Amino acid sequence: MKRYRIAPGTRVDLSNVNAGSTKGAPKGGKKATEKAFADLNARLEVLQEKLWANHQHKVLVVLQGMDTSGKDGTISHVFEGVNPMGVQVAAFKAPSPVERDHDFLWRVHLRAPASGEMVIFNRSHYEDILAVRVHNLVPEKVWKARYRQINDFERLLAEADTVILKFFLHIDRDEQKKRLQERLDDPRKRWKFRLGDLEDRARWDDYMRAYEDVFAKTSTHHAPWYLVPANKKWFRNLVVASVLVDALEKLDMKPPEPEEDLSHVVIE
């Protein structure tokens, strides 16, 4: 899945990226991919347990994407089976009055992972560049400075043994239209529909340009962005799980030694 990693300084033209691509999927299509994904789920469960037990490294997973891109679905599928004791999800909405009284990264740093933890950001500090830029909520000089500030923040986390993986779940406008209509038509899903989704949809091109700048300025060696084709949910899950498992396996974590000498213990 290295093909989906955005190299530092790379300028991506999202209008030329196929959101329905399945390049890298196993031969056999969806059925074979789901089998491979099940294996990845099992490996992730073991790796997350080692992460928690060793209590040395930290993992931060950032999920970004347009409305209906599948952030919630990615969390529920990719992280199915992991120990909830060592995994947390943080969702960043519009900042509260207290949060607005601090710097924009204050609330984000509070939710960063501790040793042994894996934290998933459902939206993230990048909203403080993306949304504020598109909706003109702060002056340009303010949001432009945040590229550097975010890079400094993520470098700090990385130097404190945090593995940072950032995923942009890329769907096209036709797929979003289909998913929004499904939410509107299904009484069980209608609670997810917001009129604000339509406002953001009307600014699609502005968001794409904002994301392109984010990738070019903040995809680094220590905190890379992955551009995930997300029209097909089963392939989206495979890409995210593959990248995550590969990153954790590279840590080469071993089970910790017992705190006491157990060589003499006999259980009768």
pLDDT digits (tens, 9 = 90+) for 191-210: 989 888 899 999 999 999 99
pLDDT in tens, 2-60: 999 999 999 999 999 999 999 999 998 999 999 999 999 999 999 999 999 999 999 99
> Structure tokens of 131?
């949304």
- Domains in the chain, start-ordered, CATH in brackets? 2-249 (3.40.50.300)
pLDDT of residue 78: 96
257 pLDDT exceeds 90?
no
* Confidence class for position 223, pLDDT limits 50, 70, 90: very high
Cβ count near 110 (within 10 Å) = 10
90 pLDDT exceeds 90?
yes
Going edge to edge, which strands form the sheet with 225-229?
5-6, 225-229, 162-170, 58-65, 118-122, 87-91
Tell me how far CA of residue 29 lies from CA of 24, 25, 33, 39, in angstroms.
10, 7, 6, 16
From start to end of 177-252, where are the E strands? 225-229
What is the distance between the alpha carbons of residues 251 and 55, in angstroms, rounded to a whole number? 13
What is the distance between the alpha carbons of residues 11 and 224, in angstroms, rounded to a whole number? 14
pLDDT in tens, 129-178: 999 999 999 999 999 999 999 999 999 999 999 999 999 999 999 999 99
pLDDT of residue 261: 82
12, 227 contact by CB (below 8 A): yes
